[in-house]
Structure 1
Amino acid sequence: MTAAPGIRPGAHLVVDRLSHRIGGKWVEAGGAPIAVGSPATGATVAHVGGGTAEDAGRAVTAAVAAGPAWADTPVARRAEIVRALGDLLAAHTDDLAGVVTTEVGMPYHLAGPAQVAVPARVLHLTADAALSHPWSEPVAAGEVLRVPAGVVVAITPWNMPLHQIAAKVGPALVAGCTVVLKPSEVAPLTAFALVGLAEEAGVPPGVLNLVTGTGPVVGEALVRDPRVAVVSLTGSGPSGARVAELAAPGITRVCLELGGKSANVLLDDAPFDRAVPAAVAQAFFNSGQACNALTRLLVPAHRHDEVCDLLVTAVRALTVGDPWDAGTDLGPLVSERQLRSVRGHVDRARADGARLLVGGSEPDPDLPEGHYHRPTVFTGVDPGSALAREEVFGPVLAVLTHSGGDDAVRLANDTEYGLAAGVWSGDPDRARAVGRRIRAGQVKVNGVRTRDGLDAPFGGLGRSGLGRELGRFGIDEYVELVSLLG
């Protein structure tokens, strides 16, 4: 679908938001406003309040005050409210997708299914899981209870703003926790829309609070607060390390969903006509701005040239451009800063001797405004080079060769990260056998996507983080286990 020029979907939600939502009331932010930019034009589209440490403390106070009543609310009622929130997201798909397109830059026709339908489904599945969760289970000497952990701080990123909120707030709410949400200041507007819908769904005042601002000011104040029981962050590796450092003195639990440099293994019997286009899609989803993007393509050495020809054909068929156009496959990167970072990775890869197959860091003269980057593929990538080891977070794919299954597993595991992986084979059992040997939190066989298994746990090994999200596994991140003996 193409959004016609003029008043576009969600335009009424792209407005200045200079107050926080604390305890069910609008509270003016204590700091200077923060500009929210359009990735497609570079222009400022709105401002949000620059929060302060005092604002963060007020939000935690409201969450603490609302905690006992919410914890005493029956699980069935908590699940009903979370389900209702999922219904409301789905009912407002067009407007919410419009906000995502405006502040993130994802093409509008893709944003509805990927950025709104997915979090709505996450909330529905979370509500289902809550109803069958073992809140009390017997042991030989009594029973084990799952009780609310307490106040949760949810710090969410800009690339999948609604999904990451749903994956944290949904399970925290059904677990009986109260929440302080701090969205990324780069793309915060969807968070305001969601909090409004949450109150419409029946979330009581103080149970879900929203504070905007930067990580070093608001985020760090929230993480340091001794009244917080759990901090759940989705972000970069350095951000996760900083959160863990700040949370350590209070022995505050942290759940960290961080970066990745995920491998996509093509075995020699893979259906290359399907696997290569799918590999391009899984590397360049959201213009490559996805933590679980499969950005290392491991191909059989004796079929390297065939794969490269297919890659060039698939990438050249992609259209980069106006995110409001239904013909666009890849929109802009989220910011000028992100664009500079991705260009730097591309330039360094060329300097390191990788061979550019298609794309590159040169600006597209047809796209003089906005933060656009060509979809880019390198081959001849040294496994020890920066391109093979560092997360780019942009539309850049590295091709490496392997000599067979064992070598492919070795290369796939040759990383500090461990968030996701893919394996392709004409024999699904062979693909699964290889997948079992890859050290990653989620291994996808023959093109299955994360969104196809939203009740399966999502999270990483190594530098990709701690803890899991989604389904019943996500709920347990927000509970404490109590043994009631006798």
Structure 2
Amino acid sequence: MIEVVNPTTEEVVGTVRSGTPADVDAAVTRAVAAFPEWAATSLDTRLALVRRVADAMVARTDELAATMTAEMGTPITFATRVQVPNPVGIARGVADVIEGGYFSGEEIGNSLVLREPIGVVAAITPWNFPLQQMVAKVVPALAAGNAVVLKPSELAPMTADLLASILVEAGVPEGVFSLVHGMGPVVGEALAAHPLVDMVSFTGSTRAGRRVSALAAETVKRVALELGGKSANVVLDDADVTRAVKIGVANAFMNNGQACSAWTRLLVPSSRHDEALEIAVAAASKYEPGDPAVPATRIGPAVSAAQRDRVVGYIRSGVEAGAKLALGGPDAPTQRGFHVAPTVFGDVRPDMVIAQEEIFGPVLSVMPYNDEDDAVRIANSTIYGLGGAVFSADPDRALAVAKRLRTGQVDINGAAFNTSAPFGGYRQSGTGREFGRHGLDEFTELKSIQR
């Protein structure tokens, strides 16, 4: 059995059975058998299913939010306002795209080009946005007519159980969707290597993504990867620095700093570094670690003791490298729970480990730059390319800089997150895209019929 530990209380709050390769094989075999009939169902049937799933998530918002808070420590207010509404928006966005004629086909010369389901999809998801990542894979895959086997994170399995119950109640046929709990090296690898799986959609670390790709390559199956990030928030010299830094801190510390697209590098003009650092410290000081089940809490614990220790190790690395520790540090801020002190570093150089590697915790690096070209160079200086931001008083200038950033998403002046726009990264942040029309593309094959 896998014990689910509440990272705030350090108490076991649930258990799930740990799956085996035999369980994976049984689930895939059922999926293969169920796929033809599901793929042949009417589009209206699949569309109605997606709508029911979205409505059910809305109806069970409180239960879903409380479960995520208990098993992975996300603040309950964030869970209620983001962790559940985002998946609802993703599901409804998929339905809207299908309703808009996505599967109608395209005439190209004497060819009719159609999109068809790819077959059996293995979905492997992380713990930090558990519902969102599961919905971003399972819902479009099912809507496109695929059968799905889901392996959620062993750190957030109870949210997966709730989604499974929602799917069953919504009417997903037997075998079309299966859930197999377990560890990545066992269940995840068995899915990635299974010869009857047609596609693997994986979200997680870059290291694990490389392993998934290697296993999947043996059977030349399609692979979609959403991996790590080290996103830069580029504050230009004409920007409202106070506003840009405050929004940047909120983004860097959202979900306890456990977000792959978080703006963990704050790039500011050298002449305004000290001012920006002071503003960042003042803003970050308001993030006092506490019980995430309390609505007023803005930051909860790391998901596990191992993750806490990993983040603390990076903080020590920053101190040893000579970065200026302006707030926080490696010491535990609470007596119980896997909390990490919200930490802000100043005078961070691009070559420092804390400026290059994904920390996945509440750690912000303030980095000075000389001019606009230097800012772009620093922003593009990591192996990642997932998210980013640009702040400027001139929208056209901000857009020009945004276009120069080698990253899959860029927010200008704090623009809102869009659950219908493509989400994914460049370079070692992954391959493929999620959400909306582009997310559906990942789960379909293209067929040309000449006539």
TM-score (norm 2): 0.99
Structure 1 position 278 matched with structure 2 position 243: no
2:336 to 353, 360, 369: 369
Aligned length: 450
SS in 1 for 2:17: strand
Residue of structure 2 equivalent to 1:351: 320
1:296 to 249, 265, 269: 265
Residue of structure 2 equivalent to 1:223: 192
Structure 1 position 116 matched with structure 2 position 81: no
The residue correspondences of 1:102-181 to structure 2 (distance < 5 A) are 102-132=70-100, 133-181=102-150
Q: Does the Cα contact within 8 Å between 1:319 and 1:327 map onto a contact in 2?
A: no
Structure 1 position 470 matched with structure 2 position 435: yes
Residue of structure 1 equivalent to 2:39: 71
Offset at residue 411 of structure 1 (A): 0.8
Residue of structure 2 equivalent to 1:14: none
1:97 to 50, 60, 65: 65
Residue of structure 2 equivalent to 1:7: none
| Amino acid of the structure 2 residue aligned with 1:349 | G
Listed as ranges, the gaps of 5+ residues in structure 1 are: 1-32
Offset at residue 327 of structure 1 (A): 1.8
Offset at residue 399 of structure 1 (A): 1.0
Provide the C-alpha distance between the structure 2 equivalents of 1:135 and 1:244, rounded to a whole number of angstroms.
32
Provide the C-alpha distance between the structure 1 equivalents of 2:78 and 2:184, rounded to a whole number of angstroms.
29
| Amino acid of the structure 2 residue aligned with 1:158 | W
Runs of 4+ in 1 over 2 A off after TM superposition: none
Offset at residue 320 of structure 1 (A): 1.4
Provide the C-alpha distance between the structure 2 equivalents of 1:200 and 1:212, rounded to a whole number of angstroms.
20
Offset at residue 134 of structure 1 (A): 4.2
Offset at residue 402 of structure 1 (A): 1.0
1:431 to 381, 398, 419: 398
Structure 1 position 419 matched with structure 2 position 362: no
Provide the C-alpha distance between the structure 1 equivalents of 2:278 and 2:231, rounded to a whole number of angstroms.
22
| Amino acid of the structure 2 residue aligned with 1:198 | L
Provide the C-alpha distance between the structure 2 equivalents of 1:324 and 1:233, rounded to a whole number of angstroms.
29
Provide the C-alpha distance between the structure 2 equivalents of 1:405 and 1:74, rounded to a whole number of angstroms.
53
Q: Does the Cα contact within 8 Å between 1:98 and 1:108 map onto a contact in 2?
A: yes
Provide the C-alpha distance between the structure 2 equivalents of 1:363 and 1:51, rounded to a whole number of angstroms.
35
SS in 1 for 2:410: strand
Residue of structure 1 equivalent to 2:426: 461
Residue of structure 2 equivalent to 1:394: 361
Residue of structure 1 equivalent to 2:276: 307
Q: Does the Cα contact within 8 Å between 2:242 and 2:276 map onto a contact in 1?
A: no
TM-score (norm 1): 0.92
Q: Does the Cα contact within 8 Å between 1:135 and 1:147 map onto a contact in 2?
A: no
Provide the C-alpha distance between the structure 2 equivalents of 1:298 and 1:115, rounded to a whole number of angstroms.
28
125-134 or 348-357: which moved more?
125-134
Offset at residue 76 of structure 1 (A): 2.2
Provide the C-alpha distance between the structure 2 equivalents of 1:324 and 1:251, rounded to a whole number of angstroms.
45
Per-residue deviation, residues 331-375 of structure 1 (Å, max 9, x unmatched): 0110000000000000011001111011111012xx211100111
Listed as ranges, the gaps of 5+ residues in structure 2 are: none
The residue correspondences of 1:440-451 to structure 2 (distance < 5 A) are 440-449=407-416
SS in 1 for 2:198: strand
SS in 1 for 2:264: strand
Provide the C-alpha distance between the structure 1 equivalents of 2:427 and 2:149, rounded to a whole number of angstroms.
27
SS in 2 for 1:50: coil
Q: Does the Cα contact within 8 Å between 2:8 and 2:336 map onto a contact in 1?
A: yes
Provide the C-alpha distance between the structure 2 equivalents of 1:422 and 1:275, rounded to a whole number of angstroms.
10
Per-residue deviation, residues 155-191 of structure 1 (Å, max 9, x unmatched): 0000000000110011101111010000000111001
Provide the C-alpha distance between the structure 2 equivalents of 1:59 and 1:134, rounded to a whole number of angstroms.
28
Structure 1 position 242 matched with structure 2 position 207: no
Residue of structure 2 equivalent to 1:198: 167
Residue of structure 1 equivalent to 2:3: 35
Residue of structure 1 equivalent to 2:22: 54
Residue of structure 1 equivalent to 2:50: 82
Residue of structure 2 equivalent to 1:406: 373
Residue of structure 2 equivalent to 1:186: 155
SS in 2 for 1:250: coil
Per-residue deviation, residues 267-313 of structure 1 (Å, max 9, x unmatched): 01111221111000110111110000110110011111111111111
SS in 2 for 1:170: helix
Provide the C-alpha distance between the structure 1 equivalents of 2:345 and 2:77, rounded to a whole number of angstroms.
29
